[in-house]
Amino acid sequence: MSIEREKQVAAEAAADLVEDHMTVGLGTGTTVAFLLPALARRSLDIRCAATSPRTEHSARELGLRMEDLASIDRFDITIDGADQITPDGWLVKGGGGAHTREKILAAAADRFVVIADSSKPVEALHRWRGDRRLRGTGRRPGRPGRTVRRDARRGRARAVPAGHGGDGSRGPG
């Protein structure tokens, strides 16, 4: 199966998790691009907020009801992609301009679903391969990257520096 087909299958499976009257956080990236039409085809009554202007624009064009991120306190589900995924659940998210909003939507979600293709699993996290500089910071993304980790005690996802556990201990990588 091609990588593009894997992305499509993952996105369609994630879209099937969304139910009528849910609040839905929409991530950013190539796999999420397959999620948006899959959600739109289902014609559900859902309220959405996006991690990026590009995702918001695409979702609106497909007829999804978009709201300002500040107008939704909690999301029933947030669906996003990842650049790296370790066997024990650590993630590296993209280092682009949507990073802060990705963390907000993940942390505010009752359920955080990651959609990815077979190129994303890694044995250990490594520096993100992008070389764009983060707007206004002079830093390169992935020095180190950021991870989103599910906090089992609180049932929440949260971002921590790559290679660190949420309690300050060294995590995988």
Contact criterion met (CB below 8 Å) for 50 and 59: yes
| Rounded-to-integer distance, Cα 37 and Cα 20, Å | 16
Pairing of strands 77-80, 91-92: unpaired
Which of 40, 42, 33, 36 has the alpha carbon at shortest distance from 7? Answer: 33
Contact criterion met (CB below 8 Å) for 27 and 9: no
Active site residue 123: no
Q: Of residues 12, 19, 67, 102, which has the active-site annotation?
A: 102
Which of 27, 50, 93 has the alpha carbon at shortest distance from 11? Answer: 27
Give the dihedral sign, CA 71/73/79/82: positive
Catalytic positions, written as ranges: 102
